[in-house]
Amino acid sequence: MIGWKFGFNGEGNLSGVDADIILALICLYVAGFAWSWGPLGWLVPSEICPLEIRSAGQSLNVSVNMFFTFFIGQFFLTMLCHMKFGLFYFFAGMVLIMTIFIYFLLPETKGVPIEEMGKVWKEHRYWGKYSNNDDGDDVDDDAYF
């Protein structure tokens, strides 16, 4: 609706009704994000890290999250002025990239205890190539099943 009203040059007027509709759509978007992708940035890293590195992994997650939140906060208005409504397509593209990454590169953790996450990473079709397959211990991992 913003693109339709303002076009590529960013010049146009909004009536009170148009502004209310845009505000309602933005609220709907924020609510949808808060109930879907929003909390996953905090939940998933806490579940996918093996127990041995869980605290370090979560610390790294918080640091990266805060850095990019700061980065977006600093450049949002500049990007909005230059990209106009295209900024919303930019964020939609980021969600698409994130969805593809999650689908292909994140292991399924449903029903997997935190103690077994190291094994999940070792058996993953992509990340297994980069996991250290030598634990350094003489314990048979399959003995626990």
- 1-37 pLDDT, tens digit each: 666 666 666 676 778 888 888 889 889 989 998 998 8
Let me know whether 62 and 74 are in one domain: yes
Let me know whether 102 and 59 are in one domain: yes
Let me know whether 111 and 61 are in one domain: yes
* 92 within domain boundaries: yes
Q: What Cα–Cα distance (Å) separates residue 52 from each residue in 44, 107, 115, 118, 140?
A: 16, 18, 9, 9, 18
The pair of three-digit structure tokens given for residue 68, joined into one six-digit string = 């990019």
Let me know whether 66 and 47 are in one domain: yes
Let me know whether 12 and 77 are in one domain: no
- Are residues 58 and 46 in contact, defined by beta-carbon separation less than 8 angstroms? yes
Question: For residue 145, which of 106, 113, 121, 122 has the smallest C-alpha distance?
Answer: 113
Predicted confidence (pLDDT) at residue 141 exceeds the cutoff of 60: no
Let me know whether 25 and 47 are in one domain: no
- Look at residue 143 in the predicted model and tell me its pLDDT: 43
Let me know whether 15 and 77 are in one domain: no
H helix runs in the chain, sequence order: 2-6, 16-35, 37-48, 54-83, 86-105, 117-123
* 138 within domain boundaries: no
Structural domain boundaries, residue 8: 1-35
Let me know whether 50 and 18 are in one domain: no
Let me know whether 57 and 29 are in one domain: no
13 burial level (CB within 10 Å; 0-12, 13-18, 19+):
exposed
Cα–Cα distance measured from residue 19 to residue 6, given in angstroms and rounded to the nearest whole number? 12
pLDDT digits (tens, 9 = 90+) for 95-134: 899 889 989 999 888 888 888 888 898 898 998 888 776 6
47 — pLDDT class (breaks 50, 70, 90): confident
What would you report as the CA-atom Rg of the chain, rounded to the nearest whole angstrom? 21
* 139 within domain boundaries: no
Let me know whether 44 and 115 are in one domain: yes
- Are residues 48 and 107 in contact, defined by beta-carbon separation less than 8 angstroms? yes
* 27 within domain boundaries: yes
Number of domains in the chain: 2
Cα–Cα distance measured from residue 20 to residue 74, given in angstroms and rounded to the nearest whole number? 27
Predicted confidence (pLDDT) at residue 145 exceeds the cutoff of 60: no
Let me know whether 29 and 52 are in one domain: no
At 122, the amino acid letter reads K
Let me know whether 21 and 79 are in one domain: no
pLDDT digits (tens, 9 = 90+) for 55-87: 999 999 999 999 999 999 999 999 988 888 788
Is the full-model pTM beyond 0.95? Answer: no
